[in-house]
Amino acid sequence: MPLLPPTPTLIAHLAAIVGPGHALTTSADQAAYLTEWRGLYTGRTLLVLRPGSTAEVSAILSACHEARVGVVPQGGNTGLVGGQIPFETGREIVVSLARLNRIRHVDPHGRHMTAEAGVTLASVQAEADRHGQFFPLSLASEGTCQIGGNLATNAGGLNVLAYGNAREQVSGLEVVLADGRVWDGLRALKKDNTGYDLRDLFIGSEGTLGIITAAVLKLRPRPAERYSAFLAVADLDAALAVFKRAEAKAGSRLTAFEFLSAFALRVVLAHVAGTRAPFGASYPWYLLLEVSAPEADGSGASLLEELLTALADDGLILKAVLPQTEAGRAAVWRLREELSDAQRHEGGSIKHDVSVPVEQIAEFIRRADSLVEQICPGARPCAFGHFGDGNIHYNVTQPAGMEKAAYLALWGMMNEAIHTLIAEMGGSISAEHGIGRLKRAELARFRSKVELDLMRALKAALDPRGILNPGKVIDVGADGPQPPSI
Ligand code: FAD
């Protein structure tokens, strides 16, 4: 049976659950919840709800399940694949988790923190720091994105190399199921081998299997020192050699290894106020690496200096800066972190968040550049990303002077070519941003029938009426989720 639009009676009931001021019905109040960061999608809804507790989320889902009304969960609205935005039909309601913003508990000795879904990532990091601990997940959107959204998207970011992605930062979850039941899985255990791992099902499910309302987060020892270096290299083969040497020398102390192209650096310098070129000349590729040390004994600095001297002696790096102050370190990191935003000033940009084995990054970029030139001569690849994770943000900026809409009309064709190449190279068409709405058709193209059947079976089991984030991630067919035989 298809989903239905919310009736006036249901809207009044849902508004009463959250109380005055937290059921938004005017377009002015709803605007911030209906467009996303890249401006690709603008949704419509009759109702945005801002519940203030797990019990309220449960009551909302119970009522929507009963009434067969679609629900779009939303965290900080920084997602890059449109998963958090309702469709243009206006038939779904939006549930914002922003008011579930309490830190429930911090145990610095046991090294864990229980935070509600709407706590921003930056607040989680700050709270860990206040207790002398470290929460390693770090994204350029951390001031706005929420921990619930990070877990729902299994976010990656800058420290995956040493600490893993969001999935690896969590030991327990509290989730409201599609029918309103609450699963209390807020366990802080290191070992728990009791049956299927329900926690891992919800992480990365992008709001299609349940609404995460709280999580037990793992805290790590806070590094006493962190040192960064910004390097110039001649090509990506040299970048790989530098990565291998850095990994061999620093081991788990190598906490980040990022890269950006000459064009990407030019874009940041041209459009982000207060940024400065690290070198007097331009070089083909740049690397940004970070070494962390557990003790403030200068060992991190000597390790990095020895590494850079050896790399320079062997001709692997062309130039290097090693900032000596925290302000200098922040300045080189800004060159990388501002890139996502800076690109919009150059016009249309067609995005690919892909991954390949790290040894194949150079070959991927060579082949991708050639495909792009065939599809749109003069288009400007703006490649950057998390080199150490094999994660390339292969964004392609429009040719100078081309009309933006005409360029963006090539999105499907360019995605198809790049994703086909990625599949040939054994990579992934979504390294860290997820599937959402943007890549749903692509998921169907690249995952096997068995994998798609398994995903549909999970969706049908956990959300039999298909009310949770309908139309996102997995196509369940016009008649709603039917369990396939597996
Ligand atoms: P939203 O955007 O609100 O939602 C994202 C998805 O999760 C939607 O499908 C939504 O329905 C679902 N969802 C949200 N909250 C919940 C919940 N509590 N329960 C169930 N489902 C929920 N991503 C990376 O991985 N790495 C990066 O380095 C990175 N850098 C970024 C830089 C910038 C400048 C920007 C704008 C984005 C970046 N992102 C990055 C993408 C984005 O920040 C992440 O995907 C983030 O995890 C989304 O969190 P959010 O709270 O904003 O979620």
Compute the distance from residue 237 Cα to the ligand 1 centre, in Å.
32
Compute the distance from residue 211 Cα to the ligand 1 centre, in Å.
14
The protein residue whose alpha carbon is closest to atom 33 in ligand 1 is 141
Q: How far is Cα 357 from Cα 387, in angstroms, rounded to an integer?
A: 10
Q: What is the pLDDT of residue 482?
A: 40
Q: What angle do CA 296, 298, 274 make, to 5 degrees?
A: 90
Q: How far is Cα 270 from Cα 277, in angstroms, rounded to an integer?
A: 10
pTM for the full predicted model? 0.94
Compute the distance from residue 69 Cα to the ligand 1 centre, in Å.
23
Tokens 């119970």, residue located: 62
Mutate to test the pocket of ligand 1, among 58, 72, 77, 78 (most ligand atoms within 8 A of CB): 78
Strand residue runs (E) in 242-328: 254-261, 285-293, 319-321
Q: What is the pLDDT of residue 341?
A: 87
Q: What is the pLDDT of residue 483?
A: 37
Q: Which atom of ligand 1 is closest in space to residue 212's alpha carbon?
A: 19
Residues 6+ apart with CB under 8 A from 221: 133, 134, 294
**Contact in structure between 347 and 407 (CB atoms under 8 Å):** yes
Q: What is the pLDDT of residue 296?
A: 86
Q: How many residues does the chain have?
A: 486
Pocket of ligand 1 (CB under 6 A): 37, 72-80, 83-84, 97, 117, 139-141, 145-146, 148-150, 152-153, 155-157, 206-207, 211-212, 340-341, 432-433, 436, 469, 472
Along the 486 residues of the chain, how does pLDDT read in single tens digits?
799 999 999 999 999 999 999 999 999 999 999 999 988 999 999 999 999 999 999 999 999 999 999 999 999 999 999 999 999 999 999 999 999 999 999 999 999 999 999 999 999 999 999 999 999 999 999 999 999 999 999 999 999 999 999 999 999 999 999 999 999 999 999 999 999 999 999 999 999 999 999 999 999 999 999 999 999 999 999 999 999 999 999 999 999 999 999 999 999 999 999 999 999 999 999 999 999 998 888 888 999 999 999 999 999 999 999 999 999 999 999 999 999 889 999 999 999 999 999 999 999 999 999 999 999 999 999 999 999 999 999 999 999 999 999 999 999 999 999 999 999 999 999 999 999 999 999 999 999 999 999 999 999 999 999 999 999 999 876 444 443 333
Mutate to test the pocket of ligand 1, among 119, 139, 459, 474 (most ligand atoms within 8 A of CB): 139
Q: What is the pLDDT of residue 477?
A: 62
Residue 472: HSE in the Cβ half-sphere, 13 Å Cα cutoff = 30
Alpha helices in 165-256 (DSSP H): 198-202, 236-250
The protein residue whose alpha carbon is closest to atom 18 in ligand 1 is 148
Mutate to test the pocket of ligand 1, among 48, 153, 433 (most ligand atoms within 8 A of CB): 153
Compute the distance from residue 400 Cα to the ligand 1 centre, in Å.
31
Q: What is the pLDDT of residue 478?
A: 47
